[in-house]
Amino acid sequence: MRILVVEDDVNLNRQLVEALEEAGYVVDKAFDGEEGHFLGDTEPYDAVILDIGLPEMDGLTVLEKWRAAGRVMPVLILTARDRWSDKVAGIDAGADDYVAKPFHVEEVLARIRALIRRAAGHASSEIVCGPVRLDTKASKASVSGTQLKLTSHEYRLLSYLMHHMGEVVSRSELVEHLYDQDFDRDSNTIEVFVGRLRKKIGLDLIETVRGLGYRMQAPKDAH
């Protein structure tokens, strides 16, 4: 899962990026509205954290431009606590949720998890595919109750496939959502990670759809 953080306060930006990376996300960052708008307009994100008071271009303008251009990724806006009008304007501009400053980073993480789940059509913080369980809150996965030992790349791959269960996901889509913009992207590495993940899961849940990509789904007789 790939997140964009657009926040001009350097310390807060760093704090959010570190917490998100620790939680298993790939994170890109921007410090002004123009840079943030460009990234959100040209890169695919699973969610965006967007401050309203930004230099160069304010957050509401950035958000309105994204929505006008058909960008539908979930957006969590950061607002000043005493400015209820900012919250209303943000929601009207197309925000999916908001957090008022000052805030606890844990609250931001919980709201981002919820936005990503909702966007993928999942109501619970736990996503289940046959005997495989993904605990998005703890960033852990298990098979039949036994916790899987996954690398950060393997966890992100499993998380993306499970959030999009039943859908065919192309290699290029996986590359775009599993690596940040500075990573040397190579779609062949995805095959390696899928192979490792299959071995660790020990079940045939990840199907290769020839010429298209991969699909994860529970066996027909699984309950």
- Where among 64, 92, 119 does a domain terminate? 119
Q: What is the pLDDT of residue 85?
A: 85
Same domain flag for 111 and 14: yes
d(CA 141, CA 128): 10
Contact between 178 and 150 under an 8 Å Cβ cutoff? The reply is no
Q: Predicted confidence band at 222 (pLDDT cuts at 50, 70, 90)? A: very low
User: Domain with 163 in it: what CATH number?
Assistant: 1.10.10.10
Beta-sheet pairing, 47-51 with 2-6: parallel
User: Domain with 97 in it: what CATH number?
Assistant: 3.40.50.2300
The pTM for the full model equals: 0.87
Same domain flag for 18 and 95: yes
Q: Is 165 exposed, middle or buried (0-12, 13-18, 19+ CB in 10 A)?
A: buried
Which residues are within 8 A (CB) of 57 and not within 5 positions of it... i.e. 6 or more apart? 32, 33, 34, 36, 37
Structural domains counted in the chain = 2
Question: Domain containing 138: what range?
Answer: 126-216
* pLDDT 10s digits, 201-221: 988 899 999 999 999 998 775
Q: Percent of the chain at pLDDT above 90? A: 75
